[in-house]
């Protein structure tokens, strides 16, 4: 397994832990297998979303780039780009401080924007806009899915009680 994949999985697991652990704290009777399943599933989903961030930003940059720009290269995570994200995920679970978490994500996004600007020839500001739109779009998509799943699970629990 490549170091980038390992770092993506660690960052995804950390993000999932930041979402699942407050739930466990509010519901102390949750079974350990359920919590472990939620952590693993959430970690894989979060790692996938993190992995899609540069690809989505690259796709947005292709929409903005001039037609003469080369399309042979592609922006991907490298250990240098993802290491700060893993550090951010480990040091600042989302539940430890949303502002600190946001600042660390902005820092990682700035590094990703620099790499995107270098690869595409776009200005840093335009590349940062592509990275920001990609990050916010992916975060919103995951949040919508998370809310739908929680509504479905909540409806199932209410039906079981009735």
26-68 pLDDT tens trace: 777 778 888 888 889 888 988 898 888 888 988 888 888 765 4
pLDDT tens digits along 111-154: 899 988 888 888 999 999 999 999 999 989 988 987 887 777 66
The whole-number pLDDT of residue 133 equals 95
Note whether 119 and 75 are within 8 A (CB). yes
Tally of domains within the chain: 1
Q: Is the pLDDT of residue 78 over 90?
A: no
First to last CA, the chain: 47
Alpha carbons 105 and 96: distance in angstroms, whole number: 14
Q: Is the pLDDT of residue 156 over 60?
A: no
Domain that holds residue 71: 3-161
**Unique residue bearing structure tokens 């951010």:** 88
Query: In this structure, how many other beta carbons lie within 10 angstroms of the beta carbon of residue 88?
Result: 22
């Amino acid at each position: 397994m490549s170091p980038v994949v390992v770092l993506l999985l660690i960052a995804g697991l950390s993000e999932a832990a930041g979402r699942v652990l407050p739930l466990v704290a509010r519901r102390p009777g949750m079974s350990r297998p359920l919590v472990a399943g939620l952590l693993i599933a959430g970690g894989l989903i979060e790692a996938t979303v993190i992995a899609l961030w540069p690809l989505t930003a690259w796709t947005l940059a292709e929409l903005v780039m001039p037609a003469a720009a080369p399309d042979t290269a592609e922006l991907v995570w490298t250990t240098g780009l993802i290491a700060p994200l893993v550090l951010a995920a480990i040091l600042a679970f989302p539940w430890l401080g949303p502002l600190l978490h946001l600042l660390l994500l902005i820092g990682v996004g700035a590094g990703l924007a620099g790499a995107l600007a270098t690869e595409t020839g776009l200005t840093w500001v335009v590349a940062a806009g592509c990275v920001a739109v990609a990050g916010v779009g992916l975060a919103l998509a995951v949040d919508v899915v998370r809310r739908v799943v929680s509504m479905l699970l909540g409806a199932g629990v209410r039906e079981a009680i009735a």
